[in-house]
Structure 1
């Protein structure tokens, strides 16, 4: 398959620790409270539980009080700011509480504590009681964006809002996958300007609580939205039996503004005959012959490859093909070239974007720079050419964050 080459067309890195509008209902454990300057102290409370960050002019500390038991946490290596502190913040992203300072216009994580074994931050009754001290209660924004994907109609065509298209993205948090969540953005394809529209969180069948699941695909099907996502919101590969699956939400809510917590049901993506410890990155299209579902299956964490299924309904899919020869290939996306459906993917080992047919046989490759990490290849026809929307693995937030805070959104145009 002959495809045009792509050249770089700029990048953006939207970093906003807190959403601009104060929260009335927390909905999900993705929260922020911040204060100007230092010394300063901010806190989140619920009942007798209290999470607090204090900057005393020298260093930052995190104090956690749960069921009457208090512990204080300081990072000896990273807890002291290196410049003038402009703002102090406490974030809660999943089960991770983090202390941050803004220095020279950039947020730096100065300490964190994982609350997984002490406090169920996903519990909706606990969330309903959350209040802020020292500043306004805000929703957590993002340290970077990854897993960008076009919002589409069920037939695969882009969903447009005037001259803009819409994207789902994973809003990165200050840590691994469980600190991130799903967000929705608008994109002007002419200028590549992006605007944050909304945030979406999820409830799961048979598992109480609200989670920041992500790596999603949003579709408009008649008068309803379908949102397929991956259950990364509490993933811990060190946990025995660790698993990632896919869920599906159906709603008539206006998902393009505000914050939402949606009920989901399992999306059964088949792995018949495969060795699989999990599936993720669902992308769905309804054709004249039924549904196509592209996704990833992992033989182990983290070794994964593209899979394609089809069926008359999303509850009755059968495995059609698997590209098990790939080792670290994800971001599988269905795209139609000249009326024929193909599967795009991102190969992190060979640093390229393979183009596969519906038997998952490689028939071409996108002639485009493959940035760091495994950037999903999202293609949008615009004008007389195509816009490639991806991301990179560039971290932010300082050395304490570790893997997960990537990345910058990167664009390329066909020539």
Structure 2
């Protein structure tokens, strides 16, 4: 079966600007940051329609401006000590002001532009004409595509047969949700490399067009699959999922599929999608966390297994597995209906058999709480991963040893619920990347 794992490293690659000099933006995820040399400074985004979006720091108070409307947080806008840098972020429809205090960015104000009479930030024409400006006591200005305050939903980039996609240098690639300065609608999908030595590095960002509405979205919780000469990208439509419970509409949260011949492992990409129709085991208000594997023949004639999550209501959710000859003809294979807070459904080949891994969150009943269960393809539990269980609901992303590297070890890459950016940023900023490695055999027997 699988080895026992121990934590060997943690990463927190925070960056307001992931890719500098990438204006105009291809998606509504951008940032401007600058060093501070005076008492007052301002950073601005200027739209082709005359829109002005700005953040300002003056006399120790941070504020936002949408056109002529000024917005300031009474609770979080005051900066106690002089910050080192000022930051503006546009993430989806959210504008935020941040200050770098010591070695950490703190969110000092945030506004949803949809509620403030702002522009349609997802409009490609508006994005194509967007420029940035900086004034006041600033230097060392950087502007470009937004990076992340944290990473979650770590998923191994794989070939269609489930094996890891490795670079010429032996790195494995991972998709992740790059957390923004707020809830799920401030995040987007990114691609990272993890070297054999454990170094984590950003490589690309993926954005999506929806089949049922215009605009560019930062959908996330994504699986990137190399299938012959093309990429398949299965993702969850979290980008406009509302923070307020009263605004959540059953059926709006689902899974889309994109195909591309471009190199999605580098740069910035906007991908058209179609809805991936998946069977439910009963009433379902939403589905997410897709994982795709082609099984059967090695010549591309085999069928597909698709793992995902289905929710009876927000948030009461469990793992589901579907199977079929194509991704357009899938039938229910199994569902772990005894769970109510289990996600991260992941398919893994162990020997000659396929197993389904998942993550039992702490809102489950006591006997299936805070652990990584292992299921067969009928979604019957057959064991658990022997691994530390971080906070939140970390996904069990297992990396098999590289057969081309003698003595290579099993790894498990996941995340935790550690937030960043201060109290205003809130829950959506989690987490740290947690890297585990198999415990050596002599240690296991000690």
Name the TM-score, length of structure 1 as normaliser.
0.96
- Structure 1 residue 385: deviation in Å? 3.2
Q: How far apart in 2 are the matches of 1:200 and 1:240?
A: 25
Is 1:280 the equivalent of 2:288? yes
Tell me if structure 2 keeps the 8 A contact 1:84–1:104.
no
Which residue matches 2:254? 245
Which residue matches 1:267? 276
Is 1:183 the equivalent of 2:185? no
* SS of alignment partner, residue 308 of structure 1: strand
* SS of alignment partner, residue 283 of structure 2: coil
Tell me if structure 2 keeps the 8 A contact 1:203–1:262.
yes
* SS of alignment partner, residue 125 of structure 2: helix
Q: How far apart in 2 are the matches of 1:143 and 1:368?
A: 26
Which residue matches 2:315? 302
Tell me if structure 1 keeps the 8 A contact 2:60–2:82.
no
Which residue matches 2:235? 229
Which residue matches 1:15? 14
Tell me if structure 1 keeps the 8 A contact 2:20–2:142.
no
Tell me if structure 2 keeps the 8 A contact 1:131–1:137.
no
- Structure 1 residue 279: deviation in Å? 0.4
Tell me if structure 1 keeps the 8 A contact 2:105–2:421.
yes
Is 1:352 the equivalent of 2:360? no
- Structure 1 residue 51: deviation in Å? 0.8
- Structure 1 residue 3: deviation in Å? 3.6
Tell which deviates more after alignment, 117-126 or 140-149.
Answer: 117-126
Q: How far apart in 1 are the matches of 2:33 and 2:59?
A: 16
- Structure 1 residue 123: deviation in Å? 1.2
Q: How far apart in 1 are the matches of 2:409 and 2:197?
A: 14
Q: How far apart in 2 are the matches of 1:357 and 1:255?
A: 32
Which residue matches 2:59? 57
Cα-to-partner distance string for 1:212-255 (whole Å, 9 max, x where unaligned):
00000000111110000000011114315252100011001111
Q: How far apart in 2 are the matches of 1:61 and 1:385?
A: 50
Which residue matches 2:392? 373
- Structure 1 residue 137: deviation in Å? 3.4
Which residue matches 2:79? 81
- Structure 1 residue 139: deviation in Å? 0.5
Q: How far apart in 2 are the matches of 1:20 and 1:122?
A: 19
Q: How far apart in 2 are the matches of 1:22 and 1:92?
A: 15
- Structure 1 residue 351: deviation in Å? 0.3
Cα-to-partner distance string for 1:310-341 (whole Å, 9 max, x where unaligned):
00000111111111110110001000111200
Which residue matches 2:174? 167
Q: How far apart in 2 are the matches of 1:7 and 1:48?
A: 54
Q: How far apart in 2 are the matches of 1:409 and 1:267?
A: 29
Tell me if structure 2 keeps the 8 A contact 1:169–1:216.
yes
Equivalent positions of 1:1-400 (< 5 A) are 3-37=2-36, 38=38, 39-46=40-47, 47-65=49-67, 70-117=68-115, 118=117, 119-134=119-134, 135-162=141-168, 163-188=170-195, 190-236=196-242, 237-242=245-250, 243-271=252-280, 273-288=281-296, 289-349=302-362, 350-382=369-401, 383-400=407-424
Tell me if structure 1 keeps the 8 A contact 2:24–2:131.
no
Change in CA separation of 1:281 and 1:101 when aligned onto 2, cut-off 3 Å: same
Q: How far apart in 2 are the matches of 1:25 and 1:199?
A: 15
* SS of alignment partner, residue 370 of structure 2: coil
Tell me if structure 2 keeps the 8 A contact 1:244–1:277.
yes
Extract unaligned runs of 5+ from structure 1. none
Tell me if structure 2 keeps the 8 A contact 1:305–1:326.
yes
Q: How far apart in 2 are the matches of 1:104 and 1:137?
A: 21
Extract unaligned runs of 5+ from structure 2. 135-140, 297-301, 363-368, 402-406, 440-446
Name the TM-score, length of structure 2 as normaliser.
0.89
* SS of alignment partner, residue 122 of structure 1: coil
- Structure 1 residue 62: deviation in Å? 0.4
